[in-house]
Chains A and B, each alone.
Chain A
């Protein structure tokens, strides 16, 4: 079985490219901690919406999605906080997207999703439901409010 010269070259380029992609992913995972959501076993404790302040800069948010709202719907935190979001759904599948922070999770009945994100800049961040969840889907939004208004 003989392989054409240009075919050989292109096989090399392809493998090199794939290797580069894999390397970049692992590099980003190590250096920037960019990762997909974490997997937790189901626990009923996460189905009660709340915001826990662990210390000055560390928060836990138990977010519960339902038709057609997120609870809590407004989350106030100071700048520089690191937030663990725990997410579940009371009914159908919902989405949870903070696009500026690359937070992207699905809220599923009978399951707990988790991700961690740090808010370095003050501002208002939209949490948008990006999975179709019935007729009110386009109304479903919550907000993370970082150091705004200044009072808090």
Chain B
């Protein structure tokens, strides 16, 4: 269930992805199509793909890794509680979005006001995703008692670290939603401090991307080397990378606010430096994974410096996970490099909020994250149900098709961004409409490239949906088991106690967090003026206060 629902929703998510590029390229010169407005579709696209799909998968994959490695059963009641909280939240928010009452995009910046059920739905999704962490902590502690001298399995360590990051960062957004946004949208409070809301959102917003990314990293470290036919190059390197993520994932959020008022240049620069800190675990991962793949290729009898690349199982449909993972990694090279550009302080003013940004983050969240999620969902489902993959040869091609589409799309978006093309804008009605006074002919080639890439990705996405549901509908062939490939380590270092416990790392994390965010929040508090009233998306005049009870 926890895998099928997000994949079904993905259909809507991918549809809206294609639609936006059509609008943007000026093929559609109107504000809405099939009764769905551009910005409404963009909200659905962002919320479903970036928040719902990723959160459901992270929880489901967490259950799988924890149960598989600790050999303990998660508490069924808590599992269902978490599932129903998240699903109720999604239903609420989806209603608000589909009814057109919450076209505020997935960042929901005030003072654009959404329907209160949109905010409540988001809060329930988040609270539902907290529940498993406490159950997993119980499973981990039991396991630890039984195996005091064994290293914590890397996948377990990664899952726990990821959900600790998630719990801490979502505290800020929970505060934003429950204390600031809901009372304000209900009319119980008159105004909202927009700068504070933005700062709290980005306390959560950047850590969110690591919450998406870490399940993919766990797969790269613990599954990919095995599938490629080799070993993980270094086990300890993986642990160090994971703990560095724990330290640096959250205290970097202000790098999304370089262009914001109320925060001083000093604080912005400090967050920029911390962002370089969080690039280090990704550099470690890039090296370790490449070395693991090289080892796999050499084991398969490759020669020369680069011969190992040719020996990897690119087109082996029995190892289709490899294709999904390597596709994601290829995209992530570009996603990572553009990410470092974005975090580079003044360089950010060249690209902030331009089409460059979606060009960048589609190569991360719609690269390794998306391909890891869908590939792994298909794998786990087919093993658990004992069913064979529907159309296996085609399945193996999908990730490569996706990579080609994404590279074209992102190239178009990045190029457009450097020419000043804004993101989140229905370009077709004005800037890409030759009859309009705002027409910009220099954005024609860039939006057309993005459209071409999106069509290719749309085809790949639909093929995946066919294969996923084709597999569900096929007959059971063997006994279903809970099984994921397990990689051994090439350098399997002795247990280093420091890298096998949480306490010192969590304390360091809190210290860095305070150093980074106390000054930022003091800035916001000092430099903000009056709070803002409620605005709807179609009216420059604020909504009058709801009648107050005496």
Chain A residues with a Cβ under 8 A of chain B: 1, 4, 6-7, 10, 14, 18, 21-22, 25, 28-29, 34-44, 66-68, 87-88, 90-93, 95, 97, 99-100, 102-106, 108-114, 126, 128-135, 137-139, 141
CB distance from A12 to the nearest CB of B (A): 12
B261 touches A37 (CB 8 A): yes
Q: How far is the CA of A82 from the CA of B426 in the complex (A)?
A: 33
Decide if B262 is an interface residue (CB 8 Å cutoff). yes
Knowing A93-B109, A104-B259, say if A110 contacts B193 (CB, 8 Å): yes
Decide if B420 is an interface residue (CB 8 Å cutoff). yes
- Please indicate the chain A residues that have their CB under 8 angstroms from the CB of B422 in the complex: 95, 97, 128-130
Q: How far is the CA of A68 from the CA of B425 in the complex (A)?
A: 13
Per-residue interface assignment for chain B, residues 432 to 467, with 1 indicating a CB less than 8 Å from any chain A CB and 0 otherwise: 000000101000000000000000000000000000
A36 touches B287 (CB 8 A): no
Which residue of A100, A106, A129, A139 is within 8 Å of B261 (Cβ)? A106
Interface-centre pick from B105, B193, B258, B429 (highest chain A CB count, 10 A) = B258
Q: How far is the CA of A10 from the CA of B233 in the complex (A)?
A: 14
CB distance from A70 to the nearest CB of B (A): 13
CB distance from A137 to the nearest CB of B (A): 6
Closest residue on chain B to residue A4 by CB atoms = B491
A39 touches B523 (CB 8 A): yes
Q: How far is the CA of A63 from the CA of B353 in the complex (A)?
A: 19
Decide if B150 is an interface residue (CB 8 Å cutoff). no
Instruction: Please give me the 3 A-B residue pairs with the lowest Cβ-Cβ distance, nearest first.
Output: A99-B420, A42-B529, A130-B422
Knowing A14-B283, A37-B259, A130-B354, say if A7 contacts B540 (CB, 8 Å): no
- Please indicate the chain B residues that have their CB under 8 angstroms from the CB of A111 in the complex: 194-195, 260-262, 527-529
A113 touches B346 (CB 8 A): no
CB distance from B482 to the nearest CB of A (A): 34
- Please indicate the chain A residues that have their CB under 8 angstroms from the CB of B385 in the complex: none
Q: How far is the CA of A66 from the CA of B540 in the complex (A)?
A: 7
- Please indicate the chain B residues that have their CB under 8 angstroms from the CB of A138 in the complex: 425-427, 429-431
Decide if B31 is an interface residue (CB 8 Å cutoff). yes
Decide if B336 is an interface residue (CB 8 Å cutoff). no
Other than the given A111-B260, A132-B105, A132-B424, 14 more pairs (CB < 8 A) read A18-B280, A25-B344, A36-B258, A43-B529, A91-B111, A97-B353, A99-B418, A108-B260, A110-B193, A110-B529, A111-B195, A113-B261, A133-B112, A137-B425
Closest residue on chain B to residue A24 by CB atoms = B344
A-B contact pairs, 25 of them (CB 8 A): A7-B237, A25-B346, A34-B346, A38-B265, A39-B263, A39-B265, A39-B527, A91-B540, A92-B111, A93-B111, A97-B354, A100-B420, A106-B353, A108-B195, A110-B195, A111-B527, A112-B261, A112-B527, A126-B420, A130-B352, A130-B424, A133-B112, A135-B31, A137-B39, A138-B430
Q: Which of B276-310 contact A (CB under 8 A)?
A: 276, 279-280, 283, 287, 291
CB distance from B499 to the nearest CB of A (A): 10
Count contacts between A and B, CB distance < 8 Å: 196
Knowing A35-B346, A132-B39, say if A40 contacts B427 (CB, 8 Å): no
Q: How far is the CA of A58 from the CA of B265 in the complex (A)?
A: 23
Closest residue on chain B to residue A96 by CB atoms = B259
Interface-centre pick from B111, B348, B496 (highest chain A CB count, 10 A) = B111
Chain B residues with a Cβ under 8 A of chain A: 31, 37, 39, 42, 105, 109, 111-112, 193-195, 198, 234, 236-237, 257-265, 268, 272-273, 276, 279-280, 283, 287, 291, 340, 344-350, 352-354, 418-420, 422-427, 429-431, 438, 440, 491, 493, 496, 523, 526-532, 535-540, 542
Closest residue on chain A to residue B191 by CB atoms = A110
- Please indicate the chain A residues that have their CB under 8 angstroms from the CB of B195 in the complex: 108, 110-111
Q: How far is the CA of A40 from the CA of B527 in the complex (A)?
A: 7
B535 touches A18 (CB 8 A): no
A128 touches B535 (CB 8 A): no
- Please indicate the chain A residues that have their CB under 8 angstroms from the CB of B349 in the complex: 34, 36-37, 102-104
Closest residue on chain A to residue B279 by CB atoms = A18
Q: How far is the CA of A37 from the CA of B262 in the complex (A)?
A: 10
Q: How far is the CA of A138 from the CA of B366 in the complex (A)?
A: 26
B537 touches A134 (CB 8 A): yes
Q: How far is the CA of A19 from the CA of B280 in the complex (A)?
A: 12
Closest residue on chain A to residue B37 by CB atoms = A135
- Please indicate the chain B residues that have their CB under 8 angstroms from the CB of A66 in the complex: 540
- Please indicate the chain B residues that have their CB under 8 angstroms from the CB of A91 in the complex: 111, 532, 535, 540, 542
Q: How far is the CA of A128 from the CA of B340 in the complex (A)?
A: 25
Closest residue on chain B to residue A136 by CB atoms = B538
Closest residue on chain A to residue B31 by CB atoms = A135
Which residue of A18, A36, A43 is within 8 Å of B259 (Cβ)? A36
Knowing A36-B268, A39-B523, say if A92 contacts B353 (CB, 8 Å): no
- Please indicate the chain A residues that have their CB under 8 angstroms from the CB of B427 in the complex: 138
CB distance from A107 to the nearest CB of B (A): 8
Knowing A1-B493, A21-B340, A36-B265, say if A99 contacts B354 (CB, 8 Å): yes
Interface-centre pick from A1, A7, A38, A100 (highest chain B CB count, 10 A) = A7
- Please indicate the chain B residues that have their CB under 8 angstroms from the CB of A135 in the complex: 31, 37, 39, 537-538
A42 touches B527 (CB 8 A): yes
Q: How far is the CA of A10 from the CA of B291 in the complex (A)?
A: 11
- Please indicate the chain B residues that have their CB under 8 angstroms from the CB of A100 in the complex: 420
Q: How far is the CA of A42 from the CA of B539 in the complex (A)?
A: 25
